[in-house]
Chain A
Amino acid sequence: MTVISYTLEKCQKCMKCLHSCLTGAISLQDARVKIDSEKCTNCATCIEACVYQGLQAKGSTLADLENYQYKIALVSTAVVGECCTVDQVEELMMAIKKLGFDEVINLSGYDGAMYEEMIRYVGVNHQQTTLITSFCPVVNKLIEVKYPILLSNIVPMDNISEVAARSIRKREDMPKNTGIFLLCECVSKLTLAKYPYGNKYSEIDHAMVIADLFPQISRNLSTERLRSPVSDKGLYNVTANLYTKGFKDKNVVVADGLDKVVKALELAEFDRLKDCDLLFLSGCINGCIGGNLLWGNPFSSFNNVRKLAKKACETTVDISNNDLYGVVIASSFNEKRSLQNRLANFIKINEYVEKLPGFDCGACGFHSCRAMAEEILANRATLADCRVLRSNDKNESE
């Protein structure tokens, strides 16, 4: 499931998105950008690469509030990281409430509970293997697509917003027709929502892009406050540079930003990180506080969080440990073809790969010569579609 939408009129076919994609999910076919949702991790690298705003992630809008009688806003802990005092957080929460919500909950208390549970979990399970955190949906999907060896290393904790939504939905005093809205800091968290993205298992009804709401939020800001406790451990849970704080005698390695994540995963596949108990992996720089849908930046957010954490409270949300776990990755290994079939197919693909120039230039519309070879084998392209081969032929005939 990808939440990234494409606008044909804006696209200049410059291929920057295609080259930026880590999993080769993007191709240009029939003069249109296509995103393969099975490979897309929703990391938003392509959105950043597109200078024409042809790719965008859209969330639900405030108009969607009208369909519900009682409206709850869940505010990602990373959003709290835009503030450096508790007063500012409470002013921000009030400004968000004024958008039309009946209740606003910042998720730091839930993040704090997850952080405490992670410390316990690592304490019990650290000797078996290098564990991997599961809070980043981009990393989970990346492992599923490119590093399946490591699927079993992921600590199966559910996404915190999902945990929170589930527990809130179970509240006894919950009014009928309650809508739960998640205010997201990153593109991948939009995928969790039911609308418009169709995740039917989610207890989150709508997900919104926090930056889209910023103009209204900023107009609503005043000295009026809404009480909203901030948990220090919750902040640690979303900040790469603070994450190791609670893990006293355990070796926790932090890799933030996709470049570092990939490096760590490559090493872990060879079991080269066995002296490391837990890998904190976050697709965004500095952790979730570096989310690309925030209005700030990962570096000043880190300064804010550091100040805020000193004034934050030590209590977390009271939630049973079992409720923190869930299914992180939907699919498991699924291969119906026989080994002989796969081998035969592979050999045929290689035959085409050897005929292609191997520059992975992308001019054919596919991200690599191998991807092109697969298309040729599937009769969706021919060797003549390779521009490099064509220009070589031309030069030779001249």
Chain B
Amino acid sequence: MMKYSYVINKDDYINAGKVSSQIKKILKELNVRPDILRRMAIACYEAEINMIIHSFGGEITLVIDNKAEFIFKDIGPGIKDITLAMKPGYSTANERARELGFGAGMGLVNIKKVSDEFNIESSTKGTILTLRFDLL
């Protein structure tokens, strides 16, 4: 089993995508099949950006065993209405994020589409997004 953890800071646009790049590098070193790798890279990137834009910060954990499991855990403020957040095009991204080209409202929808398992729990104390990918 392998486990990696990375800290994500709120509004850290400058480093946006760096954790996903590191994770992508690890997955390449493991020689994960390209089509699976593609889905994992997209999901990880979208979720990392979501955390930077919407949360107060948190942590990304990657566990690789028989499967790959991503856990995106932040410290709030939580998603008010998950059903609404899962609707294509719905976005609460602020002006600054949109100016930078983020926040088109496809994040969660895309993530769910490319993951093999998708689970999200949210309260005002934080959101936990768990994604699983079959590696075979």
Contacts and interface: CB of A to CB of B under 8 A. Distances in A.
A270 B34 contact: no
Determine which residue in A149, A272, A343 has the highest number of CB atoms from chain B within 10 A of its CB, and name it: A149
A271 B41 CA distance: 9
Contacts, number: 45
Interface string B2-45: 10000000000000010011001000111101100110011001
A346 B66 contact: no
A333 interface: yes
Given A149-B38, A269-B24, A346 B30 contact: yes
A266 B20 CA distance: 11
A355 interface: no
B12 to A, nearest CB: 17
Contact of A346 (B2, B21, B37, B136): B2
A343 B34 CA distance: 17
Contacts of A343: 1-2, 30, 64-65
B31 A335 contact: yes
B34 A148 contact: yes
B66 to A, nearest CB: 7
A270 B2 contact: no
Nearest to A146: B28
Contacts of B136: 339
Contacts of B37: 148-149
Contacts of B24: 269-270
B20 A342 contact: no
B120 interface: no
Given A270-B20, A343-B2, A343-B64, A333 B33 contact: yes
Nearest to B66: A339
A347 B29 CA distance: 11
Given A343-B2, A346-B2, A347-B2, A270 B30 contact: no
A145 to B, nearest CB: 10
Contacts of A333: 33-34
A147 to B, nearest CB: 9
Contacts of A146: 28
A211 interface: no
A316 B74 CA distance: 59
A270 B34 CA distance: 13
Contacts of A152: 34
8 contacts: A148-B28, A149-B38, A269-B38, A269-B41, A272-B45, A339-B66, A342-B31, A346-B29
Interface residues of A, number: 19
B135 interface: yes
B33 to A, nearest CB: 6
The 9 A-B pairs at the shortest CB distance, nearest first, are namely: A148-B34, A270-B45, A149-B38, A271-B42, A149-B34, A335-B31, A339-B135, A149-B37, A269-B41
Interface residues of B, number: 22
Contacts of B34: 148-149, 151-152, 333
Contacts of B41: 149, 269-271
Interface string B60-90: 0000111000000000000000000000000
Contacts of A272: 45
A343 B32 CA distance: 11
Interface in A318-359: 333, 335, 337, 339, 342-343, 346-347
Interface string A239-256: 000000000000000000
Determine which residue in B33, B38, B42, B136 has the highest number of CB atoms from chain A within 10 A of its CB, and name it: B38
Contacts of B66: 339
A337 B1 CA distance: 17
Nearest to A338: B136
Given A270-B24, A270-B45, A335-B31, 4 more contacts: A149-B34, A151-B34, A269-B41, A270-B41
Contact of B21 (A149, A266, A271, A342): A266
A335 B29 contact: no
B20 to A, nearest CB: 7
B8 to A, nearest CB: 16
Interface string A269-310: 111100000000000000000000000000000000000000
Contacts of B42: 270-271
Nearest to B40: A149
Nearest to B36: A149
A326 to B, nearest CB: 21
Interface in A150-198: 151-152
A312 B136 CA distance: 54
Contacts of A370: 29
Interface string A27-67: 00000000000000000000000000000000000000000
A41 to B, nearest CB: 16
A333 B42 CA distance: 20
A347 B4 CA distance: 12
Interface string A362-376: 000000001000000
